[in-house]
Amino acid sequence: MTLIIGLKSDNCVLIGAEQEEAGYISKRSVTKLRLITTGRDWTVVVGGAGDAAVADNAMHTIEKNLQDVLAVNGQVLMDVTDSVLDEVHTKYIDKDRASEGISLIVGASCSDGLHLISTAKRVPQPQDRIAYAGIGGEIAVYFMDRLHETDADWTYTAKVAGFTLQQAIESCRYCSGEAEIYVLQRHPNPRWRSLGTGDVPVEFVNHFQRAAVANHLRPFVEKCGGFEGVAGYSDEHHPAPISYEQADQKIKDILGVITKPEGRKP
């Protein structure tokens, strides 16, 4: 298993993944994203979660099927992904009752724009904003849904992805190691950017101030009905309203990583 995430904004599509592969005895770091580019006017990145061998086979087949396509667009991507899903399910997954199955995340910069596709079993689904697959998906969708801004530039989107991957790596048993991130853009920007591996999430978090993240998340937490840790809450048994300091600490305890912004007053 693994975690693959995708973010789509007005000017980029980002695909990211952590790189742990767990065996029966040990773990190792492997590349889980495949960059497909031929020097033409399109670039595709595919990531796979689930049964590692089947996912790798599916990604290889998608690359093979796209290599000779002169003009890749959204419909071509959907058709190729649909065909490959049907093939690997028929050939591998359906025959193995113990198979984990696979989920793919596909990002692309094509002549007709930017595309983000996720899959559910045999079905490819276009996504307008976020996509995720694999272990840590619940954590990923929590942060991406609240922090992602579709009108932000690619550097902000990369910081959201890095922060999200770091939280998954720190919180999930089967997410660890290094991470990799690709950013896809339209011409005249570079059609693809590799942000490298190594401690990519850590580097981005260092530049993505935790106070700013807290400011993004606090309104969502404070609006949750029935939560006894929000600022200003009181009840019959606790008539004194909860202060912002107490609420900040409660948020920190829940999220585990958000620190209190400097200068916040009760």
Alpha-carbon span 162 to 117, nearest angstrom:
20
CA dist 164 and 200 (Å) reads: 11
- Judge if 132 and 236 occupy the same domain: no
Which amino acid, one-letter code, is at 157?
T
Predicted confidence pLDDT, tens digits, the chain (266 residues): 578 999 999 999 999 998 665 543 334 445 789 999 977 789 999 999 999 899 999 999 999 999 888 889 999 999 999 999 999 999 999 999 888 899 999 999 998 999 999 999 999 999 999 999 988 888 889 889 988 999 988 888 888 888 888 888 777 665 556 778 899 999 888 999 888 765 544 455 555 555 666 666 666 555 444 445 556 666 666 677 777 777 777 666 665 544 444 444 44
Indicate whether 39 and 154 sit together in one domain. yes
Considering only CA atoms, which of 164, 161, 154 is closest in space to residue 184? 154
**CB distance 204 to 155 below 8 Å:** no
Q: Which residue among 175, 198, 221 closes a domain?
A: 198
Same domain membership, residue 111 and residue 59: yes
Six-digit token pair at 18?
A: 């952590």
User: Which pLDDT does position 259 carry in this prediction?
Assistant: 44
Is the domain of 193 the same as that of 217? no
Query: How many structural domains is the chain composed of?
Result: 2
**Same domain for 124 and 220:** no
Q: Rounded distance, CA 90 to CA 122, Å?
A: 10
- pTM for the model stands at 0.76
Domain limits for position 115: 3-198
Alpha helices in 40-131 (DSSP H): 52-66, 74-88
Residue 225 confidence (pLDDT):
43
Q: Please give the pLDDT value at position 214.
A: 62
CATH, residue 138? 3.60.20.10
